[in-house]
Amino acid sequence: MNPVFLLLGALSALIGAGMGAFGAHGLKAVISPELLAVYQTGVTYQMYHALGLIGVALISRQASDSRLLHWAGWLMFAGILLFSGSLYLLAILNLNWLGMITPIGGVCFLTAWLLITLFAAKIIRASDHHSRYK
């Protein structure tokens, strides 16, 4: 298991839960409903990808060669910082130019999931190959 991704996933979930509570209780009366929705999107994606990081940590426990998972984990964490982070700052500070950073985080998320998909396909191919020649 990769304890770094377990730590980053748990920490991201902790911060995501706190950010969600802050948005629901602290920002509700301060920012517009549109910006609150932007903020909430950041929370939602942070929480999903925090769980994804924990999944990467757990899956890597079974992997003999986990380079794909290693990169997937770092890209997922970068996505949290860039995607969710830019949405939080955009909503709180109302700086629209931060919206240019958000898609970079989204590409990090997509690439991370692609690497996990490739890892799974590699496992299936290896399993299929072994079952044919037993």
Map out the domains of the chain as residue ranges: 3-132
Please give the residue that has the higher pLDDT: either 63 or 118. 118
* Alpha carbon of residue 79 to chain centroid: 6
**pLDDT at 1 > cutoff 70:** no
Task: Tell me the Ramachandran region of residue 65: left when phi exceeds 0, alpha when psi lies from -120 to 50, beta otherwise.
Answer: beta
CA–CA separation, 84 vs 129, rounded Å? 41
Give the integer Cα–Cα distance in Å for 15 and 40: 13
pLDDT for res 16: 98
For the chain, the average pLDDT equals 92
pLDDT at 2: 77
- Quote the percentage of the chain above a pLDDT of 90: 78
Six-digit token string for 104: 């970079």
DSSP assignment of 13-72: HHHHHHHHHIIIIIITTTS-HHHHHHHHHHHHHHHHHHHHHHHHHHHHTT-SS-HHHHHH
Does the pLDDT value for residue 114 go beyond 90? yes
pLDDT on residue 133: 54
pLDDT, tens digit (0-9, with 9 covering 90-100), for 25-75: 999 889 999 999 999 999 999 999 999 999 999 998 877 668 999 999 999
Structure tokens given for 21: 């509570």
